[in-house]
A and B are shown apart, each in its own frame.
Chain A
């Protein structure tokens, strides 16, 4: 009964390094998304996908890339990390037919020095 699984849970990067946050779901959900959570800012949508091969930008996409080669996986890539990307990242999914309700992973805390 895994649900949405994110790895790693914690990561420290130096400015300019690249990395990928992994997200996998086993619920056969078509819709997947990435949010970042910052103090006093709530959650802001970075990128989302409505199915394999389809991705789109959310509210704060700059500095992030995504791809969706399978229904299960939706990795988030930081090509050149910046201190402004220090945040907690959440992956979430839902069945496209189910309006709005999202199922969240436990989060990945990223620190960029």
Chain B
């Protein structure tokens, strides 16, 4: 069974940086699940709140961001490690949330596989 495993969360001061990782585990060669040939996204959820889409990277090179993070966050991937990343800079208190990575189905941003999430706490 293919799984997504996030890491890299933690406590950071306002203005600081963090890099989140999302590794594919349980990869089956026959399933062909690679972060490079799927739409991959980051979605976050502030404590007690709903979901907020953060960023997507398509199977090509295109990337998109929510207005709230554009210019501060960068999504990327490493095909050799089959891992998705989210570099977060100039963090603000309102970035505090559980960050999930998720896979899009058939080149659409409909997310069928989610990780368990990693918590980011921005506080002084």
Q: Do A and B bind each other?
A: no
Chain B residues with a Cβ under 8 A of chain A: none
Chain A residues with a Cβ under 8 A of chain B: none
